[in-house]
Structure 1
Amino acid sequence: MTSPRRGRPRTTGIDDALRAAVHELLAESGYQKSTVDMIAARAGVGKAAVYRRWRSKAELVFAAVVHDESLPPPPETGSLRGDVAGVLAVIQSSLDGPAAASALPGLLADVRADAELAERFGAQFVGRQRDYLVRMLDRAVARGELAARPDPAAVHAILLGTVFAWLHMLREPAPAGFADRLAGPLTAALRELA
């Protein structure tokens, strides 16, 4: 996959300032009222610095709030159930909190309304999330815990969808041990898909 970023390499200080500005403005104004101009001004950078890194407000906000383009390797616990619990905890930490609650409804509406943005978003974020899950699934196949790799899109929908629905559709706070409690039934679902 090619990176949609253009221009000079990123500078960590600018990235950190942009991330902080996004969080502050989401808390103050919400996603819809926050603009790239406002984010750049709050971060103390020119708008060009934002557009060298991100081509849209949606991509910038997702990277600042949920995860940027790089993902660390998925947790490796030695068992599929443990790995699923670890991945669920990562998803939960990415989607939980006031910044995500403020950003995601408008951000997803923007992505859905713009085919070009949706394509970039899919390559930048969704594709990387699925690659992340493939690594976890391939380890389980190698350990003999799965007969074959299940469809990564279905696994993505099951794991991400469960956490997203709980936090953002049902709007329930995640109970203690949320990821671990869901890991057993969701691992069974992945085995059914294999």
Structure 2
Amino acid sequence: MPNSGQQLGRPRDAQIDRTVLRAARELLAEAGYAGVTMDATAARAGVGKAAIYRRFGSKAELLFAAAVHGMDIEPPPDSGSLRGDLHALARIIDQRLSSPGARQVAPPLLAEMARDPALAARFRETFIAREQHDLAAILERAVRRGELPGAVDPSLAHLLISGPLFMALLAFQRPVDDGLLHGIASVIAAGLIARAHEETGRESGAAGGESRPAGER
């Protein structure tokens, strides 16, 4: 399976990683998404094309890593609350998606993924999985604090926080300020906490029902 940037961050490859991504960003700014090729990126970076393909399976994956994020992202520092952590993450997502490069890459990338299920699967298994990993860390903090009574599916939280920001920034092209980011984070935090309590209550009720004698049901 193509690496989709999974080697980013290894010390022996760090310089090549930075050079390739910088070359891709420069070409994207100069020629747009359609004008970027793996050959041109290799020539600009001064590396062999095989070195790029060892890191990225396609131009789409290369440009996403160059313009949005690679596989080396981390969750924001612990703010002390689920709402605060989600607010900090919303700020990060806003920064990633509102850059000129991200705005150039998103529309053609979505079109390519719609035409190519294998590409979409690779994105789910790499970049999206990494985003969900970071959300899982945020949710685990909330469980340790006692804000969440149990585990929450990070894929659900990922959809809830990335969807509104993607639509606002890239579909509706509306300005996003910190007040909106705070509102999105607050609503999502409240919803996740309510759902977790609902699920815990349902599980407790089911367990209690199973333990009662038949005549007491």
Deviations 1:66-104 (A, max 9, x none): 111122233311111111111111111221110000011
Q: Report how far residue 38 of structure 1 moved.
A: 1.7
Cα contact 2:5–2:70 (8 A) shared by 1? no
Structure 1 equivalent of residue 29 of structure 2? 27
Amino acid aligned to 1:29 = A
Amino acid aligned to 1:66 = V
Structure 2 equivalent of residue 46 of structure 1? 48
Deviations 1:41-70 (A, max 9, x none): 222222122112111111111111111112
Q: How many correspondences in the alignment?
A: 192
Pairing of 1:97-136 with structure 2 (within 5 A): 97-136=99-138
Deviations 1:129-180 (A, max 9, x none): 1111111111111211122223222211110111111110111232244433
- Inter-CA distance 22–184: structure 2 relative to 1 (3 Å threshold): same
- Inter-CA distance 37–73: structure 2 relative to 1 (3 Å threshold): same
Cα contact 2:75–2:89 (8 A) shared by 1? no
> 1:58 is matched with which residue: 57, 60, 70?
60
- In structure 1, what is the Cα distance between the partners aligned to 2:3 and 2:26? 27
Q: How many percent identity over aligned positions?
A: 42
Structure 1, unpaired ranges of 5+:
none
Is 1:185 equivalent to 2:187 in the alignment?
yes
- Inter-CA distance 171–39: structure 2 relative to 1 (3 Å threshold): same
Amino acid aligned to 1:76 = D
Q: Greater CA radius of gyration, 1 or 2?
A: 2
> 2:86 is matched with which residue: 84, 87, 91?
84
What root-mean-square deviation, in Å, do the aligned CA atoms of Structure 1 and Structure 2 show? 2.3
> 2:147 is matched with which residue: 145, 148, 155?
145
- In structure 2, what is the Cα distance between the partners aligned to 1:153 and 1:71? 17
Structure 2 equivalent of residue 175 of structure 1? 177
- Inter-CA distance 24–177: structure 2 relative to 1 (3 Å threshold): farther
> 2:164 is matched with which residue: 162, 165, 185?
162
The TM-score normalised by the length of structure 2 is 0.79
Q: Report how far residue 11 of structure 1 moved.
A: 2.3
Secondary structure at the aligned position of 1:75 is classed as coil
Structure 2 equivalent of residue 12 of structure 1? 14
Structure 1 equivalent of residue 203 of structure 2? none
Secondary structure at the aligned position of 2:41 is classed as helix
